[in-house]
């Protein structure tokens, strides 16, 4: 029974948050007169000693004590006797556990946010280095239109920024104090829940004790946020895996992030990217586990909720580890400018630019689309570029064309014609790089101020 019901294997990582919550609770009990000042000081000092022992690896964990909360409380009682027994006044393990988990999740989200900023900084840091590189953009994994490399890097910054927004929004709902809800109905003792919330940095106090003791939707939401981050990392990893192949030859990864083959000496395998892609399956599984865990629970607390921690911890550990290797990998990879440029004319990437040139000359879009389609077919049949077609042949397809048509043909000329907001046009990209450089600097400055305040 002890082996089956224990959770100390995984919830011991909550020790610092459990001790922080217990210290805040003890200080509140002293303020409302349920502990003396001397008892409060004894309890707080002993809790800090216990934390030091855990961090030094000298604290014994025992299966029969079940979880981290009982371990810490029993150690307190062993050292302080009846004074230690007073700590649990006005609270239950139900509200204690959820408060600890909210504190841990809040810290975890903050750590993830810092890593998202670091990855954004790595992408932005590439923009000057690759400022003049033109890449083939794809739809359906077929060459579509040319784009500037910085435009591609900033596309991932935008995705990561939405991830940051989801982290911040989730954090707001996490940052609610459950302590004082007790088992499910509250308590008749004169506790001050606002005082505890203030000491622990919570923005507000949970309004309903039944909801507070049973609520785990913040865990599910955090797992979803982590899942979205993992998904974005996976799609990036998949694309870069393709780019490292001989078929693409766009990208060379730092060797520190690759491995060789046990039998084929020429191989350089993108193992880190493959693992980032593969580990996304774990995070998706963690999210699914939480959905199934919570789907049928009646109010209020049920022991099933003990199982919310392993998937949350695993999702966080997996995403954090992926972000830790993603940023230096992005910063260290090298685009093969020559290989990209050598094949950039393949795929008639300037076809859309030619169509828009015809539109500007008065042709309806569908008519212009048909004209260019016929010209692309002619170029394909002869194995040439659109810009290789002589003007007479172009004018047979559309008589209004003149020499100015060659000003929009070719990937470089094509990119220069684009000017819509948020596009890959050079002026737009330079403005976006400037905006992102300022945004990253502001994010770092804001984080530094928060650390100074801490």
Which pLDDT belongs to residue 411? Answer: 93
Of 93-102, 266-275, 395-404, minimum mean pLDDT range: 266-275
Residue 443 has pLDDT above 90, yes or no: no
Q: Distance between CA atoms of 274 and 241, rounded to whole angstroms?
A: 7
Section 329-348 average pLDDT: 94
Backbone angle region of 416, left / alpha / beta, with phi > 0 → left and psi within -120 to 50 → alpha: alpha
Q: Distance between CA atoms of 22 and 69, rounded to whole angstroms?
A: 10
Of 26-30, 83-87, 213-217, minimum mean pLDDT range: 213-217
Which pLDDT belongs to residue 454? Answer: 44
pLDDT band of residue 445 (cuts 50, 70, 90) is: confident
Indicate the pTM of the whole model.
Answer: 0.93
Catalytic residue among 140, 188, 404, 421: 140
CA angle, 8 as apex, 105 and 49 as ends, to 5°?
80
Residue with more model confidence, 254 or 320: 320
Q: Is 140 designated active site?
A: yes
Q: Is 25 designated active site?
A: no
Section 114-129 average pLDDT: 96
pLDDT band of residue 269 (cuts 50, 70, 90) is: confident
Q: Mean pLDDT for the chain?
A: 94
Interacting residues of 404 by C-beta distance below 8 A, sequence separation 6+: 357
Residue 265 has pLDDT above 80, yes or no: no
Section 313-332 average pLDDT: 97
Query: How long is the chain?
Result: 454
Residue with more model confidence, 454 or 366: 366
pLDDT band of residue 264 (cuts 50, 70, 90) is: confident
Which pLDDT belongs to residue 446? Answer: 74
Q: Distance between CA atoms of 274 and 332, rounded to whole angstroms?
A: 17
- Both tokens of 57, joined, read 């690896």
pLDDT band of residue 163 (cuts 50, 70, 90) is: very high
pLDDT band of residue 260 (cuts 50, 70, 90) is: confident
End-to-end CA distance of the chain: 43
Query: Would you say the C-alpha torsion 310, 312, 315, 316 has a positive or negative sign?
Result: negative
Residue 279 has pLDDT above 70, yes or no: yes
| CA 132 distance to own-chain centroid | 29
Residue 449 has pLDDT above 80, yes or no: no
pLDDT band of residue 34 (cuts 50, 70, 90) is: very high
pLDDT in tens, 197-241: 999 999 999 999 999 999 899 999 999 999 999 999 999 999 999
Which pLDDT belongs to residue 288? Answer: 97
Q: Of all residues in the chain, what percent carry a pLDDT higher than 90?
A: 91
Of 177-186, 264-273, 377-386, minimum mean pLDDT range: 264-273
Catalytic residue among 36, 255, 261, 400: 261
Q: Hey, which bits of 261-379 come out as E strands?
A: 334-335
Closest C-alpha to 243, from 396, 321, 137: 137
Instruction: Tell how strand 134-139 and strand 142-148 pair up.
Output: antiparallel
Residue 437 has pLDDT above 70, yes or no: yes
Residue 382 has pLDDT above 70, yes or no: yes
Q: Is 306 exposed, middle or buried (0-12, 13-18, 19+ CB in 10 A)?
A: middle
Which pLDDT belongs to residue 259? Answer: 79
How many C-beta atoms surround the C-beta of residue 150 within 10 A?
A: 26
Residue 333 has pLDDT above 50, yes or no: yes
pLDDT band of residue 451 (cuts 50, 70, 90) is: low
Residue 452 has pLDDT above 70, yes or no: no
Q: Distance between CA atoms of 100 and 91, rounded to whole angstroms?
A: 13
């Amino acid at each position: 029974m002890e082996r089956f019901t224990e959770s100390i294997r995984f919830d011991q990582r909550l020790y610092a948050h459990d001790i922080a919550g217990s210290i805040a609770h003890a200080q509140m009990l002293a303020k409302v007169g349920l502990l003396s000042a001397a008892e409060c000081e004894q309890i707080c000092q002993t809790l800090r000693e216990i934390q030091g022992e855990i961090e030094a690896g000298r604290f014994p964990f025992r299966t029969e004590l079940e979880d981290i909360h009982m371990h810490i409380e029993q150690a307190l009682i062993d050292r302080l006797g009846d004074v230690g027994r007073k700590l649990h006044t006005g609270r239950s393990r139900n509200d204690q556990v959820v408060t600890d988990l909210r504190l841990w999740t809040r810290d975890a989200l903050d750590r993830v946010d810092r890593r998202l900023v670091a990855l954004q900084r790595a992408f932005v840091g590439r923009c000057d280095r690759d400022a003049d590189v033109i890449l083939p953009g794809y739809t359906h994994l077929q060459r579509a239109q040319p784009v500037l490399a910085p435009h591609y890097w900033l596309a991932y910054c935008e995705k990561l920024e939405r991830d940051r927004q989801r982290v911040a929004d989730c954090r707001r709902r996490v940052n609610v104090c459950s302590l004082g809800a007790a088992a499910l109905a509250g308590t008749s003792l004169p506790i001050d829940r606002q005082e505890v919330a203030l000491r622990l940095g919570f923005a507000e106090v949970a309004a309903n004790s039944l909801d507070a003791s049973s609520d785990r939707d913040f865990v599910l939401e955090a797992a979803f946020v982590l899942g979205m981050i993992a998904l974005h990392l996976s799609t990036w990893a998949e694309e870069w895996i393709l780019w490292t192949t001989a078929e693409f030859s766009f990208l060379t990864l730092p060797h520190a992030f690759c491995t060789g083959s046990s039998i084929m000496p020429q191989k350089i395998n993108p193992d880190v990217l493959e693992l980032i892609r593969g580990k996304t399956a774990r995070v998706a599984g963690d999210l699914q586990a939480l959905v199934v865990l919570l789907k049928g629970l009646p109010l209020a607390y049920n022991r099933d909720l003990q199982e919310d921690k392993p998937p949350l911890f695993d999702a966080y550990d997996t995403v954090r580890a992926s972000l830790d290797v993603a940023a230096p990998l992005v910063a260290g990879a090298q685009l093969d400018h020559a290989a990209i440029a050598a094949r950039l004319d393949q795929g008639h990437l300037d076809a859309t630019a030619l169509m828009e040139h015809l539109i500007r000359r008065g042709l309806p879009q569908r008519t212009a689309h048909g004209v260019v389609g016929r010209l692309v077919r002619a170029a394909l049949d002869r194995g040439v570029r659109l810009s290789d077609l002589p003007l007479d042949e172009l004018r047979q397809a559309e008589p209004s064309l003149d020499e100015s048509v060659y000003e929009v043909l070719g990937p470089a000329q094509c990119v220069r014609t684009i000017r819509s907001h948020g596009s890959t046009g050079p002026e737009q990209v330079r403005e976006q790089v400037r905006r992102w450089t300022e945004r990253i600097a502001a994010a770092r400055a804001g984080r530094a101020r928060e650390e100074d305040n801490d």
